[in-house]
Amino acid sequence: MHIHVLGICGTFMGSLAVLAKELGHRVTGSDANVYPPMSTQLEAQGIELMQGYDPAHLEPAPDLVVIGNALSRGNPAVEYVLNKGLPYVSGPQWLADHVLQGRWVLAAAGTHGKTTTSSMLAWVLEHAGMSPGFLIGGVPQNFGISARLGGTPFFVVEADEYDSAFFDKRSKFVHYRPRTAILNNLEFDHADIFPDLAAIERQFHHLVRTIPGEGLIIHPESEEALKRVLGMGCWTPVQTTGAGGQWQARLLADDGSHFEVSFDGQVQGTVQWELTGQHNVANALACLAAARHVGVAPELGVAGLSSFKSVKRRMEKVAEVNGVTIYDDFAHHPTAIATTLDGLRKSVGDAPVIAIIEPRSNSMKLGAHRDGLPDSVVQADQVYWYAPPNLGWDLAATAALCTVPSQVCDSLEAIIERVRAQAAPGTQVVIMSNGGFGGLHGKLAKALEG
């Protein structure tokens, strides 16, 4: 079968394309923005990529068109599909029908940490010899690929609350029917499709309604929004993590790189790994609870986590030039920015930290998170904000409220010039964006070489 994927370079749709190819289909795809790491992964899989949404890409007609949720009515490719009556489906629906049917699905949902937690869980199951399938919205470094079918009924999926397609406004995760569900946390996000937090809570409850009575729901004890979700009705056993929960961690290093895990008061082992930050410790507890549900003893899970290497674009060290370290991070929400910088600060002590942030997500462009931004960067020594031309609010006014030195730049060149003038050996530079950021990482590294 020839499947054409519209929006193929999105992290979810790209992973879907990999699975379709592994199932033996001929897979092609098009996207407005073809850039790494997804483009390189797809090309390595022998998947043909086309730039833009030219209807000519759909000639001769494919057997099925899978339409990503970034595309809407008015898009030339979408209009062509509808006018010609081509068979089409949303990505989550295709995944549910062709991959997840009849499998034990383990889903990681939540505002933050979905990619990292699902990557951890896939690796812990792999380490335990369970050869899981997975679909993750990023590239876990232990696997080097974002999706695979796997060799057993177990399948780990990153369960996103974003909508499924222009014709299906339900959250993606409603399609997945997990047996084991991690609900990591819940905050307001996706202001382009959700009016308020209550609307997101309702979608999470739709997910809860699909989890069998013999399944398991895992959530942090401290998350009030998730308690409200479960308060709407819950038919599944629950395990809790974090302070006051059944799964707890005792830090053996302030930065979260070493900690002891206990379950129901019994010590299960200690994790020592490359990751930092309290958020990753919390992710680890949820992962161990989920792995135990499918039969992985916690001490084996702990050993797996100790060899976990994180995910591309999650505090990924991309360069070290003349003593200056550059990280690439996907953070695009004030909470994620704050926890990432906090983990780095605890890891590097007094070393200078420069944060470069692109407010690129739809919620950021709408200004939904602007009030939280000044407090999110307090652990940095200097912040450079990139003002994209289509930002609908006053970034300079927000930057002025920061308690650390903060500057708005309207070009990558301006950012590079300022960082180059400021960075000395030992400086840590974190570049935060949920897009390609114009290749800033490589350009900055090259400038620092000079």
Query: Annotated binding residues for ATP, as ranges?
Result: 110-116
Residue 409 identity (one-letter amino acid): C
Q: How far is 139 from 145, CA to CA, in rounded Å? A: 5
Q: How far is 104 from 444, CA to CA, in rounded Å? A: 44
Ranges assigned E (strand) in 323-447: 324-329, 353-357, 382-386, 406-409, 428-432
**First CA to last CA distance, the chain:** 51
Q: How far is 75 from 6, CA to CA, in rounded Å? A: 10
Do 366 and 359 touch, CB atoms closer than 8 A? no
- Helix orientation angle between 412-422 and 440-449, rounded to the nearest 10 degrees: 40
Ranges assigned E (strand) in 93-146: 104-109, 133-135
Tokens read off for 142: 């232990």
Sign of CA dihedral 286, 288, 293, 298: negative
Is beta strand 26-31 parallel, antiparallel or unpaired with respect to 2-6?
parallel
Length of the chain: 450
**CA-based R_g, the chain, Å:** 22
Do 259 and 270 touch, CB atoms closer than 8 A? yes
Q: In what order do the strands lie in the sheet with 258-263?
A: 147-148, 133-135, 154-158, 104-109, 180-183, 216-220, 238-241, 247-251, 258-263, 266-272
Binding residues: 110-116
